[in-house]
Amino acid sequence: MSVTVTIPAWVDGVLTPVEKLEAHLKGLRHKAVSVFVIAGGEVLIQRRALGKYHTPGLWANTCCTHPEWGETAAACAVRRLREELGITAVVPEARGQVEYRAEVGGGMIEHEVVDLFRVVAVERPALAPDPEEVMAVEWLTRAALEARMAAEPEAFTPWVRIYLAQHGATIFDT
């Protein structure tokens, strides 16, 4: 399903509503949200559906997206957990903001200012992945995730590799 989504991006230094695909094709600096769900010492990762317009079939963090124009980062995190994975009744905890720039294929660039969130649950939440967004999920310890990423970096999205290498303590440490 192709839906035009307007996201907040900086154009000439001013936060402006921009179509999501345009932001990626032009490499515009734009807002994003990434969420990590952790339960029982394991983090939930997802393999992106093959129909995604960039980085299809690659492993990523629990979920990530862009807030729509006028949407708060926290509301966006809750929305995408529900839409992508069917996770409800959780309150993501804000873990700070990071910025990165990475080529994601097809001439597209993610230049994102990301609000990081995490959910720490006592037990694994029930999942109902949307097959248009997610083709597989897996629960891994941080050590197992880092080892797998080191062994097969090309199987992971650029942003999750950046998050683990540069912001692991922000995401995982209490």
List residues bridging with 47 in a β-sheet. Answer: 59, 136
Q: Residue 93 catalytic?
A: no
Q: What is the CA radius of gyration of the chain?
A: 15
For residue 47, give both structure tokens. 């393999």
Whether residue 35 contacts residue 81, with contact meaning beta carbons closer than 8 Å, is answered with yes
From 19, 84, 112, 133, the catalytic residue: 112
Q: For residues 87 and 37, is the Cβ–Cβ distance under 8 A?
A: yes
Question: Is 63 an active-site residue?
Answer: no
State the CB neighbour count (10 A cutoff) for residue 32.
25
Give me the catalytic one of 64, 76, 84, 110: 64
d(CA 79, CA 74): 9
Residue 93: exposure state from Cβ atoms within 10 A (0-12, 13-18, ≥19): middle
Distance CA 141, CA 38 (A): 9
Q: Indicate which residues carry an active-site annotation.
A: 64, 112
